Structure 1
Amino acid sequence: MTAKPPDPDPTRTPGLEPGGGVAPGDTPPDSGQTSGLSHPQPMPSKVAPVVTLVAVVVLTVLVVAFVVAELMGWTALF
């Protein structure tokens, strides 16, 4: 492995007491920063949500129209 670990080596870190603690008033070194984006994230497409919304609205209108037609007696399916 060629990469260094993000945390400092405890055996070479000044200020550490036996067992890994620190003396009062002493601050251990900070760990390396390993978070963040490696490249810009692509913008999601707006087509899929619009198509889904239109399909749901159309399906809802058809179901409501069928229920109204059933209640009015315009269909003889059931």
Structure 2
Amino acid sequence: MTTPDPDPTRTPEIEPGRGVSPGETPPAEGGIYGISYPEPPEQGKAWGPMALVLIMVVVALIAIGLIAMVVALIG
């Protein structure tokens, strides 16, 4: 919010036909780059190789068990 009658000693000087002279007003953006808080560390892979091997072993054991049950029922 600006005041309706600013202090003339703090008002930027205006150059004729050009507006405000350089250096009379603050820059539009700050000079600090980056983030204001630390980023969390990157997460690893969701499915590591050990998890996939374990799942494949469990599926193979279930398949072998089902095949054995079918063979036992037929025979």
Structure number with greater CO (CA < 8 Å, separation at least 6) is 1
Whichever structure has more strand as a proportion of its residues is 2
Do the structures match in fold with TM over 0.5?
A: no
TM-score, structure 2 as length reference: 0.39
TM-score, L = length of structure 1: 0.38
Return the index of the structure with the highest Cα Rg: 2
